[in-house]
Amino acid sequence: RAKQEGRGRLRFYEARMGVQVRERRQIEHDLRHAVERGELRVVYQPQTRIDSGEAVGFEALLRWHHPERGTVPPNLFIPIAEETGSILAIGEWVLRETCREAASWDKPLRIAVNVSAVQLHAPGFAELVHEILFATGLSPARLELEITETALIRDLPRALTTLRRIKALGVRIAMDDFGTGYSSLSNLRAFPFDKIKIDASFTRSVDSSEQAATIVRTVLGLGRGLGLPVLAEGVETSAELAFLGAEACQEAQGYLIGRPGPIGGFQHLTAEPDAAEDAA
């Protein structure tokens, strides 16, 4: 009897797995067509200098508006797109879309674009970046590519060669989610980074946890020592911002400063004051 019950449970489990596998295949399939069906959108989140409060640029964040599922969060679909290779077409679309958008702004603000490990290691990625800059007319100095530590370790020499080529174009490179990855500090020194982004998990706890505050101070010291500016991600409260300012963190990004949204909502940041008045 116990055996029978066990078998029944197993069958139930298999059936549920079947649903998950089918659902996953469906997402994979839908993702392959998301670009051509126009289901992808980019939202923009401002990044500001802490001392002056002025906007220095935006991070581009991808959104997928699925016709039946609604908005699918990137943490769910990007890993699937990476496994199936769809990320190559999707990533190229994001890069082209954001460079074209940024090229149209009055102010020469920066645009930061997330790059997946799969894109970074794909042949011809540096050439693709070059081609997109040429086609959109965006000044290379205004583009910043965000790379995580984990994206580097797949093939360090290859990642280094690609990043050097991209740097040679005049494009900036930021280390994203610093402190959460699986790599060594020597990568910070060996790789041509222009900025460190402290992960939100540390920022979020600076005013409640002495440990988080110590980690943030240490990363800021590291940045100073290496001559790299530091941006704190996920700033949600004015207490966090005050702590970061007091510790001489250069830049901040987070809900306190602005939530990611359509670029139209940030016209006051991208347009010259006169142009904005004319448009109004």
Q: How far apart are CA 64 and CA 62, in angstroms?
A: 7
Asked if 90 and 80 count as a contact pair (C-beta separation under 8 A), the reply is no
Buried b (16+ CB within 10 A) or exposed e, 167-195: beeebbbbbbbbbebebeeebbeebebeb
- Residue type for 170, please? G
3-class secondary structure, 179: coil
Q: Site residues (CB under 6 A) for ligand C2E?
A: 45, 61-62, 73-75, 78, 91, 94, 114, 116, 146, 176-177, 200, 233-236, 254-255, 260
CB of 93 to ligand C2E, least distance (A): 9
CB of 73 to ligand C2E, least distance (A): 5
Q: Which is nearer to Mg ion, 59 or 92 (CB)?
A: 59
176 sits near Mg ion (criterion: CB under 5 A): yes
144 sits near Mg ion (criterion: CB under 5 A): no
Taking CB within 5 to 8 Å according to partner kind, which of ligand C2E, Mg ion, none is near residue 75? ligand C2E
97 sits near Mg ion (criterion: CB under 5 A): no
Buried b (16+ CB within 10 A) or exposed e, 138-158: bebebbbbbbbbebbeeeeee
177 sits near Mg ion (criterion: CB under 5 A): yes
Asked if 141 and 172 count as a contact pair (C-beta separation under 8 A), the reply is yes
Residue carrying the six token digits 């699986």: 182
Q: What is the largest CA-CA distance in the chain?
A: 81
Q: How far apart are CA 8 and CA 31, in angstroms?
A: 35
Tokens describing residue 260: 């990611």
Asked if 110 and 142 count as a contact pair (C-beta separation under 8 A), the reply is yes
Of 146, 149, 240, 251, the one binding Mg ion (CB under 5 A) is 146
CB of 8 to ligand C2E, least distance (A): 40
Of 45, 48, 98, 114, the one binding Mg ion (CB under 5 A) is 114
Q: Which is nearer to ligand C2E, 91 or 223 (CB)?
A: 91
Q: Which is nearer to ligand C2E, 18 or 85 (CB)?
A: 85
CB of 222 to ligand C2E, least distance (A): 19
CB of 242 to ligand C2E, least distance (A): 15
Q: Name the segment binding Mg ion (CB under 5 A); options: 87-95, 111-119, 124-132, 235-243.
A: 111-119
Residues contributing to the site for Mg ion (CB under 5 A): 114, 146, 176-177, 233
